[in-house]
Structure 1
Amino acid sequence: MSEESRSILTAILERVFPKTPDFFQMLMEQSIHVTRSVDRLVEFMETGDPEVGHTLKQDEHDADIIKVRNIHALNEAFSTPIDREDIYRAITDLDEVVNYCKTTYSEMAALELTPDHFMLDMAKLIREGAESLANGFAKLAKTPATAALDADAARKAERRVEKLYRRALPELLQGDDYINMFKRREIYRHLAYAADRMAACANTLHDIVVKIS
């Protein structure tokens, strides 16, 4: 076969059977972006620096770009190495964690709230879970079975956030500053929602491990 004929055949095959995107790499990159956002959330809770908080808005914008790119690749893919629904759930849940990080800062700024120790501790736990997710997604391509431990670690971090949330409420509801109570409770809820999305993504990661191991 001539070089020209081989090139034509290759072009035809690529059109009929397009190359499968590297979804393992894409999910790993997205999960790393999540850890970066949560790192900034922790830094804001430690310092109260609005400049740090403002970076979360850019992070959320960048996360949307990554999400759209990954979903587009999923929609266009002829085949996928793992279940399409699992990929979609992972993409959207990872994005939601970043969304809640940004919403947490935005509402704190709007309500003129300064961070407290409960917010900081919850943010640190979310960071632990996000780092576990990033470690797990990084293992899917070569050692998927080991990613189950990372999924478990992320779920444990979410349960610790939930316990901290329940512990924060009774302390918050002491006294008669009801406006402050209402404001801070909203922020605690946003952090709890971020942890919930993190746990949902951990469940998806575990489902993927079970199916491909």
Structure 2
Amino acid sequence: MSANSWIHFFLPKDRVFYQLFEQVSDNLQKMGETLKEAVITSSSERQRELVKMIEDQEHTNDDLTHRVFLELGQNFITPFDREDIHYLASALDDVADYIHGSAKRLIMYRIQPTDEYICKLADIIYKAILELKKAILELRNMKNLRNITNACVIINSLENHADDVYDTAVTNLFALEQDPIKIIKMREIYQTLETATDKCEDAANVIESIIVKYA
């Protein structure tokens, strides 16, 4: 039996969920960091390497999400509502999916690096993930509710900022770009990145619901 298996065996069953969500938040942080580098690198080869890293990280996230659902099926005792655990796991998995989807489109559409709006949206995603991580770490003991609330408020603000960046990006795209194919490609990437911030906000909403019920 591996060390991780032994640790898992001795953990109180309701505490396993905290550990899994913390692992998800760590993995999302890595995905956000990798995405930020992928959108600014001038090397197409390096960009492909980074996108492959994001793909692997997304698979890791899928595995962690599957483990959350498996624990839900096996454990009678949970730290908060089973429905909220399911919603939170699904929302965090959606964040990973949209980061991966955005990264794949960089390669598929051969997008030139350092697009101003892509870089801004990637940075917003990363900042929102950091706030999600802060909130998730506080869920374990619920002693610093203000920290959780503040993180959720910041995520909401970041999502609103992402909406503004997306609107500006699309407005300028239609005003300045003549190639209709490029317009379609760029708009889709902007939209996928912006949706990742929506999913961060969805996760924050679930966390807020949890602290209202159990704090």
Normalising TM by the smaller chain, what interval?
0.7 to 0.9
Question: What residue is the counterpart of 1:25 in the other structure?
Answer: 19
Question: What residue is the counterpart of 1:56 in the other structure?
Answer: 54
Q: Is the CA contact 1:33–1:63 (under 8 Å) kept in the aligned structure 2?
A: yes
2:37 to 18, 21, 43: 43
Unaligned runs of 5+ in 2: 1-11
| Structure 1 residue 21: Cα displacement | 4.2
Deviation per residue, 1:122-177 (Å, 9 max, x gap):
01011111000001010112225131111111121111111100111110012421
Q: Separation in 1 of the partners of 2:100 and 2:193?
A: 10
Normalised to the residue count of structure 2, the TM-score between the two structures is 0.87
Question: What residue is the counterpart of 1:74 in the other structure?
Answer: 72
Unaligned runs of 5+ in 1: 1-17
Q: Separation in 2 of the partners of 1:55 and 1:62?
A: 11
Question: What residue is the counterpart of 1:180 in the other structure?
Answer: 182
Task: Give the share of equivalent positions with the same residue, in percent.
Answer: 26
Amino acid at match of 2:26: I
1:93 to 91, 94, 97: 91
SS where residue 20 of structure 1 aligns?
helix
Q: Is the CA contact 2:94–2:196 (under 8 Å) kept in the aligned structure 1?
A: yes
| Structure 1 residue 27: Cα displacement | 1.3
Q: Is the CA contact 2:61–2:96 (under 8 Å) kept in the aligned structure 1?
A: yes
**Residue-pair matches, total:** 196
Q: Is the CA contact 2:13–2:78 (under 8 Å) kept in the aligned structure 1?
A: no
Structure number with larger C-alpha Rg: 1
Deviation per residue, 1:37-91 (Å, 9 max, x gap):
1111111112152211211110111111111011111121112111111111110
State the Cα RMSD in Å. Answer: 1.4
Question: What residue is the counterpart of 1:201 in the other structure?
Answer: 203
Amino acid at match of 2:182: N
